[in-house]
């Protein structure tokens, strides 16, 4: 018997099978690529989220320590200048300021490790202003009450600038300064504001 030559129908059946197999393989490949891309995006998002969380913790921790340092400095300044007596000794206050300064320095290092360029610059500026308050409170630099208040205002202005830089770095919309947020002075009780020129207050 002689072999029968393949018919056109056989060629069409084979072609359809090849097309079907190719479509299955292409579908599997596309599914694999899509899963791979989505997994990479998911991992990248999770990584960015972890970094943002670490940054937020570092930024908040640094501001907390800066504020703690200011409060400790006010305590020292008011006691040393006779504005408000305290049962805490100067030695204990000095130790407290030293401890707060150490913690602030550690928080500052975290910002340097995690922060963007603008945040790091703002942290450097804030650190310098905070040190001025420390030195004034301890009597290491000269100054009147007006100088003391100016140095405290400078710290809080620097805190606001740090906040602005941190918000931009974290992708937070809006602003905490500008026309919609007027300049705020140091918060003093009304009696202290009224008698500001004739009496001394810590802030």
pLDDT in tens, 137-155: 999 999 999 999 999 999 9
Burial class (CB in 10 A: 0-12, 13-18, 19+), 82: exposed
d(CA 158, CA 117): 16
Q: Which domains does the chain have, with CATH numbers?
A: 50-174 (1.20.120)
Instruction: Tell me which of 67-71, 92-96, 148-152, 176-180 is least confident.
Output: 176-180
Burial class (CB in 10 A: 0-12, 13-18, 19+), 26: exposed
Say what the pTM is.
0.68
Query: For residue 178, is pLDDT > 90?
Result: no
Name the residue with higher pLDDT: 181 or 96: 96
d(CA 75, CA 84): 8
Output DSSP code: residue 175: -
pLDDT in tens, 90-144: 899 999 999 999 999 999 999 999 999 999 999 999 999 999 999 999 999 999 9
């Amino acid at each position: 018997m002689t072999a029968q030559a393949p018919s056109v129908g056989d060629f069409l059946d084979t072609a359809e099978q090849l097309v079907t197999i190719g479509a299955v393989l292409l579908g599997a490949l596309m599914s694999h690529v899509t899963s791979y891309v989505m997994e990479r995006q998911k991992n990248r998002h999770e990584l960015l989220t972890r970094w943002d969380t670490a940054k937020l913790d570092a930024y908040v921790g640094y501001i907390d320590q800066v504020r703690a340092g200011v409060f400790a400095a006010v305590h020292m300044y008011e006691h040393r200048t006779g504005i408000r007596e305290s049962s805490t000794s100067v030695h204990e206050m000095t130790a407290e300021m030293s401890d707060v300064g150490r913690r602030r320095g550690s928080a500052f290092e975290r910002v340097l490790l995690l922060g963007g360029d603008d945040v790091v610059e703002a942290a450097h500026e804030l650190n310098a202003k905070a040190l001025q308050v420390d030195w004034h409170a301890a009597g290491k630099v000269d100054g009147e009450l007006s100088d003391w208040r100016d140095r405290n205002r400078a710290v809080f202005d620097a805190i606001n600038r740090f906040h602005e830089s941190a918000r931009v770095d974290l992708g937070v919309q809006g602003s905490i300064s500008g026309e919609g947020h007027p300049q705020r002075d140091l918060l003093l009780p009304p009696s202290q504001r009224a008698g500001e020129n004739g009496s001394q207050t810590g802030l």
